[in-house]
Structure 1
Amino acid sequence: MAAPSADRRADATAAPQPVTADPGTDTIPALLQRNARDFADLPALTSLDVEGAPTLNWAALRDEVAAVARGLADLGLRSGQRMLIMAPSRPEHIIVDLAATCLGAIPCTAYSTLSSDQIAFVAEHSAAPVAVLAGTDELARWRPVLDSLPALAHVVVMDDDAVPSGDDRFLAFDELHAQGAAAHPADPDTFDRAVADVRPDDPLAMIYTSGTTGVPKGVVLSHRNALHEAVALRDLHENPPHLTNVAYLPLAHIAERVLSIYLPTVNAGHVHTLVDPANVVTALGRVHPQQFFGVPRVWEKMVAGLKNMLAGLPEEKQTALLQANELLQEGYKLRSAGEPVPADLAERIAETDEAVLAPVRQMLGLDRLFLASSGAAALPVEVLYFIAGLGVEIQEVWGLSETTGAVTANTAGAFRAGTVGRPLPGIEVRVADDGELLVRGPIVFLGYLQADGTIEDVTDDDGWFATGDIGTIDADGYVTITDRKKELIITAGGKNIAPSRIEGLLKEHPLIGQAVAIGDDRPYISALIVLDDEIAPAWAAARGIEAAEPATLASHPQVRAEIEQAVDAANERLARVEQVKQYTLLSRSWTPESGELTPTLKLKRRVINERYRDDIESLYGA
């Protein structure tokens, strides 16, 4: 957080008693038991989607997990087996995930955007005997391939009204819970013994990589991995226990799993689940969380929305807010450079923050934030600066599913804008001869699941894992990510160019929702550009343009002129070899459902290159 947020940080540190965890001896199930004993009455899990839904405290959550675990055991789920889940972030998802973990089984959340063919691959590869699905939409994806999955014996459906009739393979989640809730009280020792049998180096969960290229791989994580990650993050940021957060990203995303399952279990936190990520801004206003993680696109859209809102304010108020933003940015940039903030400037910042910006944070639900973070892709530095100008300092992190999330992180006391911070405690990072970043330490995963059920360790003889990311480490230990090793553009002239920088600069304009830089084996850089389907209609309406659909707006002369200016502005900040010489403005949006983006909103470059081959060729005169 920013310097004026010191009071908010102090408020967050009030806690009933210390919360400790040891990655060498503890496990997630053991800590769940501890929370039910030591923090029984503290809130643990709340649904933001069900009106009037009761909040589960830690004692009630453990009881729910125990009931569902007994139900899963009665279905035949055993230690070491995989269990697939396809559902959004909702309480039942977290409960069933923890339940499988307490049995020593290995839960694996699959992205809800997988096609039927992809589902077949994941289900066959995992050999899961049980799958847990949310409802009708998920069933529609699974039904075409169910009969070809001999290992899959049971399908549990969270929504009662979606359970198919006349098929013994299907079972309602409520029925599973009821059966387990009836059996558990009469024999609680069965659950307790299963929990006690789980060891720190046992597999905890599996994540299938989202697959921007090639076939997804099953990343197997251990309890030790997750607990070291959670404890390291807590200690690095000096997090108080019992923080509140909003779980809105897919739980197949490693960041959401850490922040909404593992870290809250370690710290006895309070998770608020949200099914539809599009409602996250509204959720922030309801919850006022103390911790919030956003992938870059979430922060980018927040900034675009705020800038669009500013444009509609009276000139006097708009000027006051912009001046306040610039003032806080000034202090942030000085601290980022390791320079002191002069006393008179610090005083002006504090006064301006309280008078002008505190009400804005309160309106946005960001007023109680202890930690704001971003990862999964590069966050454009101008977005970082603008948010800092609101008094919310985003701490960028870098990591992968294979590293149980964050490898490096900036902190409130040690950060450098434009970098992803320094390695977490106990973690080593070095640069290989070809520029690839290598990681070693207790957060590196067990390995990839093989078709025969074994786990293949892919670290080298010295324990180093090759991340596939290209980067640098400065003299102070701060890591900067250049790009993915496989995504670097090598032009026909032999120049190595990082597409993410070009794309980030283009997306700084609110009208641009997505951009992809093209240029591998080409004479120059070109780009495909997509309008932001939320900002573009509002931008057009404010200028008297009646067309509301992005497809129509993409051909409007005023919109095209604005995009031309955006490209020119980006090119002014790029080296000549990086500049976009040609571009095309596409008439359709990109979403995970349409196939151009992963569920975590990363570009699927291979898909885009194939799908828009003709558009790309036209940019090179073909």
Structure 2
Amino acid sequence: MTSRASIADIDAAVSGSTAPRLFLELTDADPSTPALHSMKGDDDWNAWTLGEMRSMVARAAVGLTEAGVKPGQRILLMMRNRPDFHWYDVAAQFIRATPVSIYNSSSPEEIQYLAEHAEAEVAIVEDAGFLERLLKVRGDLPALRRIFVIEPPEGNLPEGVEPAEALLGPDEADLGALAAATHPDDIATLIYTSGTTGPPKGVMISQYNVVYTVELLRQCIDWDDFRGKRAVSYLPMAHIAERMMSHYQAMILGYSVYCCPDPNQLTAYLGKVHPQIMFGVPRVYEKVYAGVNAALAADAERKQKFDEAIAAALEIKAAERDGTITQEQRDTWEFLDAVAFSNVRALVGIDAVEIAVTGAAPIPATILEWFNAIGVPLSEIYGMSESSGPMTWSPHANKPGSVGQAVPGCEVEIAEDGEVICRGGNVFQGYYKEPEKTAETLVDGWLHSGDIGVMDDEGYVRIVDRKKELIITSGGKNISPANLEGALKMIPIIGQAAAIGDNRKFCSAILVLDPEAALVWAKNHGKESLSLPELAVDPDVIAEVQAGVDEINQQFAQVEQIKKFVLLGEEWMPDSDVLTPTSKLKRRGVLARYGDEIESMYAGLD
């Protein structure tokens, strides 16, 4: 790709298109390409080709229509990552309905709010567990007419609840006729924001947004052929990153998607699938980085040699990015790869990765550079639900520490107050039923991200922090907690970090031991009998962490340095009160859960 496409270029490329129309073009061209997979036993797969997926979509389209679903109506989808999601969601698009995914961890009250706000009339849930939560609030959802269950419980079902197999009769819809009736203005989905600053808002993503964004991503990736490229789907489909990665791109470009129903199983799936394109939140890559280094630490000599190889590779990759790499450096890296790096990639299951992406939260540049050094082409993407996913990304011209340049067909600028703003066909249609909030976010066609950023003279953007999350100390100093947290997570035995200091006299931190790395450290230091909570109060462990904090503090100004910390021996799980489903920090949740621990660090100072 020699030059970046403009908004007009992308608009012309997708004019009049919809995802259903492009799906038919894909399945007409290559119906035999593997499209969807689910695990069968330990080492085998259930598989559907594009042609077989098309048939399932056609059957589901008939079933949904017979269930009374009409154009413009919302359909709730609540299920783990499984092939069924794809054909039900695509079928809903074909009949011009709007599928809405709900996070699987949602409480009955959260389900009620989203179902009521979306005015959903039909719901498809996975099993008895999801059904039970929905039935608890069904009495408060008069618009919800019918519920379908993919794996229904034994016995009689309540009135209005049916097995989902009723949606998959033998008759197939005329998808060509249905696709012809779809329109770029149709709402392809509502993405509900995480609600960290209030009730969740329904981000309206149109068919135009979908095809526009897939086209700009296609140009970013710049492969000759996307069909059959392996990808693992493991993040919630309620998140724009997973929807755009393994659903919309797959139905238009033809990825071969392996459905992983539990994110905790990702490591096992990587080892079996060996994906060629991979999206991972920073925590995925941080755990690989920590695990490899913890394993190497058991053999001091081996660890030293590997670290020396990494140091040499970092210098070589920096020269490669700068365009100054020599043939001698290329030969050196090939040698290092043969004797060390290729083994690591194969062990983790990322040896076939051609495009590796991280996003949804900041990643320390050190970790990104480490992956580049061992031959994983990892780059950072930036965006939000309201930009249909991407806003900046430069996968083939990576600059660690930045989130890349503006993607094709998207103009990105830094406003006078430092806020990152953008415009383009990827910008959403507004918040469902909330014109005032839409007007606050969309100003004169520009999407206001809520993030503070800087842009260098080459157009690379670096995100400083969320506008509303900057720490303002009692002395009036603005501090980026994300920068501190990213550095603190580089302490080898630390898995999570939350910087504290808003309206306080100094900065402190809640630090969480990394379960895998901490236990390896314990074994290497004769403390293998200690549990994680016991390690968190062990003087030697605390001293190890303090040494790491002292070293990190040297990178920051005096007012930004961590003066105290509380060390925790537990694991923060995604989709909890402290982490979002993509492992982004929920600051209010951290403050609420650890209020006493935080106050203890400031006791006697007020």
* TM-score, scaled to structure 2: 0.93
Give the match for residue 37 of structure 1. Answer: 28
1:593 positional shift: 5.2
1:250 aligns with 2:217: no
Change in CA separation of 1:593 and 1:395 when aligned onto 2, cut-off 3 Å: closer
Corresponding residue number in structure 2 for 1:537: 519
The residue number in structure 2 matching 1:304 is: 290
Which of 582, 591, 596 in structure 2 is aligned with 1:614? 596
Tell me by how many angstroms 1:56 deviates. 0.7
Q: Is 1:380 equivalent to 2:380 in the alignment? A: no
- Matched with 2:158 is 167
Q: Deviations over 1:333-372 (max 9, x none)?
A: 2334x25113322221122223332232222222211101
Q: Tell me: CA distance 1:360–1:109, structure 2 relative to 1, closer, same or farther (3 Å).
A: same
Deviation digits for residues 312-349 of structure 1 (CA, Å, limit 9, x no counterpart): 3473x44443332222211122334x251133222211
Q: Is the 8 A contact 1:125 1:451 kept in 2?
A: no
Give the direction of change, closer, same or farther, for the CA distance of 1:376–1:318 in structure 2 (3 Å limit): same
Residue 335 (structure 1) aligns with = 320
1:429 corresponds to 2:415:
no
Question: Aligned residue for 1:47?
Answer: 38
Task: Give CA deviations for 1:160-183 in whole Å, capped at 9, x if unaligned.
Answer: 3x3672412212222322xxx323
Conserved 8 A contact 2:40-2:46: no
Write the letter of the residue equivalent to 2:541: V
Q: Cα gap change, 1:507/1:164 in structure 2, threshold over 3 Å: closer, same or farther? A: farther
Task: Tell me if the contact between 1:472 and 1:481 (Cα under 8 Å) persists in the aligned partners.
Answer: yes
**Alignment partner of 2:540 out of 558, 561, 569:** 558
Following superposition, the deviation at residue 448 of structure 1 comes to 0.5
Note if contact 1:213-1:606 (Cα within 8 Å) is conserved in structure 2.
Answer: no
The 3 A distance-change label for structure 1 pair 164 and 493 is: farther
How far the C-alpha of 1:478 sits from its partner, in A, is 0.4
Within the candidate set 49, 58, 62, 2:50 is matched to 58
Q: Distance in 1 between matches of 2:114 and 2:62?
A: 25
Identity of aligned residues (%): 38
The one of 268, 271, 289 equivalent to 1:282 is 268
Task: Identify the range of structure 1 (339-348 vs 415-424) with the bigger mean alpha-carbon deviation.
Answer: 339-348
Give the drift of 1:500: 0.5
Query: Which residues of structure 2 form unaligned runs of 5+?
Result: 1-11
Spell out the pairing of 1:49-448 with structure 2 (5 A cutoff): 52-160=44-152, 162=153, 165-177=156-168, 181-184=169-172, 188-189=173-174, 191-239=175-223, 240-242=225-227, 243-313=229-299, 315=301, 317-336=302-321, 338-412=322-396, 414-448=397-431
1:570 maps to what in 2? 552
Map Cα deviations across residues 182-225 of structure 1 (whole Å, 9 max, x no partner). 232xxx33x43322211122211111011222111100101111
Amino acid corresponding to residue 147 of structure 2 in structure 1: V
Does the 8 Å CA contact 2:194/2:200 hold for their aligned counterparts?
A: yes
Alpha-carbon separation, structure 2, partners of 1:196 and 1:459: 33
Aligned amino acid, residue 65 of structure 1: V
Q: Cα offset for 1:491?
A: 0.9
State the 1:538 CA deviation.
Answer: 3.4
Farther-moved stretch of structure 1 (297-306 vs 565-574): 565-574
**CA-CA distance at 1:244 after TM superposition:** 1.4
Q: Which amino acid aligns with 1:231?
A: E
The 2-side partners of 1:368 and 1:588 are apart by 34
Which range moves more in the overlay, 372-381 or 209-218?
Answer: 209-218
The CA deviation string for residues 263-285 of structure 1, in whole angstroms up to 9 with x for no partner, is: 11221221111011111122111
Which residue in 2 is equivalent to 1:27? 18
Equivalent of 1:491 in 466, 469, 473: 473
| CA displacement at 1:455 relative to structure 2 | 10
CA RMSD of aligned residues (A): 2.1
2:489 is aligned to: 507
Deviation at 1:63, TM superposition (A): 0.4
Q: Which sits farther off after the overlay, 509-518 or 162-171?
A: 162-171
In structure 1, stretches of 5+ residues that fail to align are 1-20
Moved more, 261-270 or 288-297: 261-270
Q: CA deviation at 1:533?
A: 2.9
What do the CA deviations read for 1:375-428 (whole angstroms, capped 9, x no partner)?
Answer: 11111011112212211121111000000111100222x221100000011111
Q: How far has the Cα of 1:35 moved from its partner?
A: 2.0
Partner secondary structure for residue 386 of structure 1: helix
Residue in 2 aligned with 1:13? none
The CA deviation string for residues 485-506 of structure 1, in whole angstroms up to 9 with x for no partner, is: 1101111111111100100111
Distance between the aligned counterparts of 1:339 and 1:577, measured in 2? 38
Counterpart AA for 1:399: G
8 A contact 1:157–1:172 mirrored in 2 = yes
**Is residue 81–residue 128 contact of structure 1 (8 Å, CA) maintained in 2?**
yes
Deviation at 1:594, TM superposition (A): 4.2
2:347 aligned counterpart, secondary structure: helix
